[in-house]
């Protein structure tokens, strides 16, 4: 058999496509031809080593960069921030409604900062006017200012939160 | 080809619904292989990292279009190959050996000699022309079949065979017949 033919069979072996008949012919030749046997060994050795080559890795933090570029973490942060804000809002509302502390605190502030009181009075007039425009039922009722402001801000907050979540859902799809 | 993890289709479904954990798992499963392949092609750590990054971004963004009847890794390698080729075209890269690749090993480790030999092989692979390098990596390192390589590179199987045979000979010459 010619060396060229042997080289072809060696390549076939490396391809994993050699037939049993050709394998027999090849082995027979390699047993008697040291030159081809050496060539075969070298071919097998140089390609077999490729399987054991080191695997390289990108720098630590690679996953985080991909995840944040995809916006997955941002979505998660928004959801988390939404929960915290709603919780905070409820806690503040309960605190303001049931604790005597805010009233005491406001009294102290009023005595310490008269300018602030004047500002509050002016603001109350503006809010009262707005309230009368927004809610005719409670117009001229200064007691309704707090709940109305709360309601307006709650609606505004829920609207913004809803829009944000809607945007994030769109982004996800 | 290496066997795909059994949970890959579940992971893909979860990743499609925006599950961060599933994306992390996919990244951990494939980033080493993809990065190694790209690194061996471009021979520059930072470029390899950028291309790997783009590969995964493209993969996750196009995940909805992935044909689940095909192997996921083949699809991922196709993206990596296309982006690597774009990088070559964009930068008009000259394919030469870059010394930064040859890092110093730990002389005291027991497997130093083995490691040194592997580094030598890696060095030799880096001296092959890019197309030959790509073929030997995909066939012998990644253990892809001719058909799969044909899908990844969009080259006919017969061409791949001819080129791979030539590449193996070159590799053997470089490993066993070093220049004086």
Residues A47 and A127 occupy one common structural domain: no
Residues A23 and A93 occupy one common structural domain: no
The per-residue pLDDT for range B95-104, each reduced to its tens digit, is 433 333 334 4
DSSP label at residue A54: P
Q: What are residue B93's phi and psi, to 5 degrees? A: -65, 135
* Residue A61 located in a structural domain: no
- The answer to whether the CB atoms of B23 and A66 lie below 8 A apart is yes
Higher pLDDT, A163 or B111: A163
The per-residue pLDDT for range B103-134, each reduced to its tens digit, is 444 444 445 556 666 777 888 888 888 888 99
Question: Which residues between 58 and 117 in chain A have a beta carbon less than 8 angstroms from any beta carbon of chain B?
Answer: 58-59, 62-63, 65-67, 69-70, 72-73, 75-76
* Residue A164 located in a structural domain: yes
* Residue A60 located in a structural domain: no
Flag whether the ipTM exceeds 0.85: no
pLDDT number for residue B173: 86
Structure tokens at A150: 């709360």
Q: In terms of Cα–Cα distance, which of B93, B95, B115 is closest to B104?
A: B115
Residues A118 and A40 occupy one common structural domain: no
- The answer to whether the CB atoms of B175 and A42 lie below 8 A apart is yes
- Distance from the Cα of A105 to chain B's closest Cα (Å) equals 45
Residues A167 and A117 occupy one common structural domain: yes
pLDDT confidence band for A173 (50 / 70 / 90)? very low
Pick from A62, A70, A75: which is nearest to B60 by CB?
A70
Mean pLDDT to the nearest integer, B50-67: 94
Pick from B27, B39, B136: which is nearest to A50 by CB?
B136
Residues A140 and A88 occupy one common structural domain: yes
Mean pLDDT to the nearest integer, A23-36: 92
Integer CA distances (angstroms), B105 to A64, B31, B100, B101, in order: 29, 23, 13, 12
The per-residue pLDDT for range B35-44, each reduced to its tens digit, is 999 998 888 8
% residues pLDDT > 70 (chain A): 76
DSSP H or E run through A159: helix A145-172
- Distance from the Cα of B17 to chain A's closest Cα (Å) equals 8
pLDDT number for residue A75: 55
Residues A84 and A145 occupy one common structural domain: yes
* Residue A57 located in a structural domain: no
Q: List chain B residues with CB under 8 Å of A14.
A: 168
* Residue A159 located in a structural domain: yes
C-beta separation of B29 from B3 below 8 A: no
Residues A136 and A74 occupy one common structural domain: yes
Range(s) of the domain holding residue A154:
66-172
Residue carrying the six token digits 């007039």: A125
* Residue A56 located in a structural domain: no
Residue A44 has pLDDT above 70, yes or no: yes
CA A38 to centroid of chain Cα atoms: 56
pLDDT number for residue B75: 94
Assigned fold of B8-176: Rna Polymerase Sigma Factor; Chain: A (1.10.1740)
Residue carrying the six token digits 């080809």: B1
Integer CA distances (angstroms), B177 to B134, B167, B170, B171, in order: 22, 15, 10, 10
Number of domains in chain A: 2
Between chain A and chain B, how many beta carbons pairs sit less than 8 Å apart?
103
Residues A88 and A151 occupy one common structural domain: yes
Residues A39 and A120 occupy one common structural domain: no
* For chain B, domain boundaries: 8-176
Residues A146 and A95 occupy one common structural domain: yes
Residues A150 and A70 occupy one common structural domain: yes
* Residue A87 located in a structural domain: yes
pLDDT number for residue A136: 59
Please state, in angstroms and rounded to a whole number, the distance separating the CA atoms of residues B56 and B27: 8
- The answer to whether the CB atoms of A43 and B27 lie below 8 A apart is no
C-beta separation of B38 from B84 below 8 A: yes
Pick from B20, B143, B171: which is nearest to A72 by CB?
B20
Residues A47 and A98 occupy one common structural domain: no
């Amino acid at each position: 058999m010619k060396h060229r033919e042997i080289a072809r069979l060696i390549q076939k072996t490396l391809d994993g496509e050699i037939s049993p008949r050709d394998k027999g012919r090849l082995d027979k030749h390699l047993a008697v031809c040291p030159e081809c046997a050496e060539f075969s060994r070298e071919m097998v050795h140089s390609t077999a080593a490729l399987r054991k080559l080191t695997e390289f890795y990108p720098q630590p933090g690679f996953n985080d960069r991909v995840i944040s570029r995809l916006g997955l973490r941002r979505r998660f942060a928004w959801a988390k921030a939404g929960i915290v804000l709603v919780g905070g809002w409820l806690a503040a509302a309960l605190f303001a409604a049931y604790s005597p502390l805010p009233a005491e605190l406001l009294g102290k502030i009023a005595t310490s900062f008269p300018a602030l009181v004047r500002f509050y009075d002016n603001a109350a007039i503006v809010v009262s006017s707005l309230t009368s425009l927004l809610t005719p039922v409670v117009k001229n009722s200064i007691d309704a200012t707090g709940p109305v402001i709360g309601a307006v801000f709650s609606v505004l907050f829920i609207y913004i939160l809803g829009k944000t979540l809607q945007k994030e859902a769109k982004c996800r799809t | 080809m290496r066997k795909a993890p059994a949970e890959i289709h579940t992971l893909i479904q979860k990743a499609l619904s925006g599950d961060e954990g599933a994306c992390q798992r996919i990244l951990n499963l494939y980033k080493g292989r993809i990065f190694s392949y790209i690194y061996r092609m471009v021979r520059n750590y930072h470029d390899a990292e950028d291309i790997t990054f783009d590969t995964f971004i493209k993969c996750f963004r196009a995940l909805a279009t992935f044909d689940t009847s095909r192997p996921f890794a083949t699809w991922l390698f196709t993206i990596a190959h296309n982006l690597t080729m774009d990088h070559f075209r964009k930068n008009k890269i000259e394919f030469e050996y870059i010394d930064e690749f040859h890092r110093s090993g730990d002389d005291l480790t027991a497997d130093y000699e083995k490691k040194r030999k592997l580094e030598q092989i890696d060095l030799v692979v880096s001296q092959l022309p890019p197309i030959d390098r790509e073929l030997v990596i995909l066939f012998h390192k990644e253990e892809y079949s001719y058909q799969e390589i044909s899908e990844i590179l969009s080259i006919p199987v017969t061409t791949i065979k001819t080129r791979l045979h030539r590449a193996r000979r070159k590799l053997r010459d470089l490993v066993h017949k070093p220049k004086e």
